[in-house]
Amino acid sequence: MATFEYRCQQDGNFDVTLPVGTAGPSTSCPRCGSPAARVFSAPRLARMPATLRAAMDRTERSAEQPEVVGRVPGRRPPRRSTNPAHARLPRW
């Protein structure tokens, strides 16, 4: 399902949800019943995977409100080996 936008001369813009490919060039206005022309724009798809929607929302938010980093990412304390043979190696 997709949401298509139509424009009525008297009442302005309104949305109609229809299956993809079935939107006509005009439809009747739900308020006054007069013919309304379709506004040609990209259809807003009603169903989008949640992960994609979350990624798009996060991208839009980061344009104006970037996340603040509290520490340098990827820095870990050095790992110590439990192998006794490694204990004799020099430490830096």
Spatial distance between the Cα atoms of 81 and 87, rounded to a whole number of angstroms: 8
Taking alpha carbons only, the member of 38, 32, 31 closest to residue 4 is: 38
- 14 by Cβ neighbours in 10 Å (0-12 / 13-18 / 19+) ranks as middle
pLDDT in tens, 8-40: 999 999 989 888 888 889 999 999 999 999 998
- For the cut 90, the answer to whether the pLDDT of residue 49 exceeds it is no
pLDDT in tens, 52-67: 888 888 888 888 777 7
Strand partners, 39: 5
> For position 44, what pLDDT does the model report?
64
Question: Helical H runs in 10-79?
Answer: 50-64
> For position 28, what pLDDT does the model report?
93
- Structural domains in the chain plus CATH codes: 2-62 (2.20.28)
Q: What average pLDDT does this structure show over 38-52?
A: 76
- For the cut 80, the answer to whether the pLDDT of residue 45 exceeds it is no
